[in-house]
Every structure is written in C-alpha cells, then in structure tokens.
Amino acid sequence: MKKLIPALFGAGAFMVLAGAVLFITKWPPAPYIYTIGAGFVALAQINTPYKGTNKNIKRLRRQQIFGALILIMTGAFMFTTHGNEWIAGLSIAAVLELYTAFRIPQEEEKEKKKTNRQTT
C-alpha cells in the first residue's frame, strides 16, 4: 500500500496535466483523462492521513483535500461549460496544492525538532 499511493498520485498528476493540455486542443477524450486523473490524485491524498496532533498540519491536510476536490469539480466544469471557466477551478486547486506541498513538510520538520528538544 505504501508504494501504491505514490504511484497513484504520480499517474493521476500526469493524467491531470495531460487532460488539461489536451482539452485546449478540443480533443473529445481530454475531460475524461483529466477527471480520472483528478480522482486518482484525490484518492491518493485522502488515503494518506495525518495521525499526529499538530493543528497546523491538520488544517493544511484539510486544505490539501479541499484542493483535490476542486480538481474533481474542475473536471465537471470541463463537461458542462463551453468556455474557459474550468481554468478558474484549476488555478484555485493548483494554488492550494502548491501551498500545502511546501507548508506541510515545513510544519513536520518543526514538529520533529520540537520533539527532539523535548526528549533530549
């Protein structure tokens, strides 16, 4: 299971990128590729829970999962709207995912240093 989740995330991220790029070319299967990839990303993020007690990391994990759900919602926009409204959803999700991708490791490092100081 530990190897499956990163593989699922990697495949999903590639499919999201490919689906978004191919959607611009108006290729009909592009929204399907994007939405399946967004589902993979969301599954990978939901199945990597945080078991600690740090409130900041819990908040960041909720933001990360919310960003993944916005990715899926963006796939729905690709099917239902005929303009470029899906780009707004993708942009919001990208900002949330990027922010949490940098902040979660920082908070985990702070927590690790704090526990090392307390045990020494």
Q: Select from 41, 103, 51 the least CA-distant residue to 73.
A: 41
Structure confidence by residue, pLDDT tens digits, 10-41: 999 999 999 999 999 999 999 999 999 999 99
The answer to whether 100 and 48 have CB atoms below 8 angstroms apart is no
Residue 16's CB is within 10 A of a number of other CB atoms, namely: 25
Burial of 81 (0-12, 13-18, 19+ CB in 10 A): exposed
pLDDT tens sequence across 51-103: 888 899 999 999 999 999 999 999 999 999 888 889 999 999 999 999 999 99
Taking phi over 0 as left and psi of -120 to 50 as alpha, with beta for the rest, 69 belongs to alpha
The pTM (predicted TM-score) of the whole model is: 0.89
Under CATH, which architecture does the 4-119 domain have?
Up-down Bundle (1.20)
